[in-house]
Amino acid sequence: MRAIILCFLFALTSAITVAQKPPERCQDATPTKAGSIDELKKIDRELDDALQRGDVEFFQRTLAEEMINVMPEGSVGKKQDFLQDVKPQKPGRTLTITAKDVEVFVFGDAGVVTSNKTAVWKSANGSTSDEYRETNTYVRKDGRWFLLASQTSHAPPPYSAKDVNLNLTVTENQIGGNKNASVVLVEFADYECPYCRQFASTTMKQIESEYIDKGRIGFVFYDFPIESSHPNAFNAALAAQCASEQARLWEMKHKLLAEPSALTPGDLFRDAETMNDRKPDPSLSLWTEARSLPAIQ
């Protein structure tokens, strides 16, 4: 079962347009979807080539300033963190990266490239290799593609390009953090899912402190209960929606993900009564105006 689909991130970008109107003869020069797909495949390959030769300057030009790099263990790095790891190979050592199962999905000025990759390091002492799934999100600005987010996983693929073909309408009152941010992060979560709990306890805490609390991005939460695998997930999502009506969504969300074994109706009523008897958690005050979107049926 593709359990990973229960919890994944997808960065949505606002439409970015070129400031100057092109000459009349260029009015029909809008990039085609097929052309954008070819461009993204090319730049994704060029990123691997640059990594092989340790070309920091190429990454400086290609990474967006707000670039996020999510590693397999869940840690989140910024652009400067990524650049520090780009170095030429030591003498006598080579790196070769190959990609297969490349999929590309484009919508407007944003695109996602997913692929299975193999990195092989060779030296006089032999060779080592690493196989991983990479999902890169790009945004186009002034006619150029920039890498906005990269996620690497050694587990089964978190999602492929076609899986993120979502038609989401997000209003301002549903966004936590910076409501005017050009980048909005969307989380899909099942309160009974172990992957979602791991994400909440590690990666999400870092995203909150480094990106959301500082107003660098916006954030939207979707309930994604999978009742066939998690019988208590829907009731937990319903409890979170009720808390949302009282501006306590994020306090309830944190509690439900922290105590996944206590999701029976009795547990949920107890949690609601406990929250009703105390003031909102001030550490979650940033989120009190955010509202969850309806659960996906």
The stretch 186-202 carries a mean pLDDT of 82
The answer to whether 161 touches 114, Cβ cutoff 8 Å, is yes
pLDDT in tens, 262-284: 677 777 777 666 666 555 544 44
Q: Which domains does the chain have, with CATH numbers?
A: 14-155 (3.10.450.50), 168-297 (3.40.30.10)
DSSP helix/strand/coil, 64: strand
Residue 259: the pLDDT is 65
pLDDT in tens, 26-55: 334 456 788 899 999 999 999 999 999 999
Query: CA-CA distances (angstroms) from residue 61 to 3, 96, 181?
Result: 36, 22, 22
288 pLDDT more than 60: no
The secondary structure of residue 210, as a DSSP letter, is I
20 pLDDT more than 70: no
What are the counts of helices (DSSP H) followed by strands (DSSP E) for the chain? 8, 10
Distance CA 189, CA 293 (A): 12
- Read off the pTM: 0.58
DSSP helix/strand/coil, 262: coil
SS3 content of the chain, % helix, strand, coil (to 5): 35, 30, 35
Residue 291: the pLDDT is 34
Residue 296: the pLDDT is 34
Which has more pLDDT, 290 or 104? 104
Residue 17: the pLDDT is 31
Distance CA 195, CA 5 (A): 9
Residue 14: the pLDDT is 37
Please give the backbone phi and psi of residue 13, each rounded to the nearest 5 degrees, phi first: -115, 145
120 pLDDT more than 80: yes
295 pLDDT more than 60: no
143 pLDDT more than 50: yes
Residue 270: the pLDDT is 72
What does the mean pLDDT of the chain come to? 76
The answer to whether 66 touches 147, Cβ cutoff 8 Å, is no
pLDDT in tens, 247-267: 777 777 777 877 655 677 777
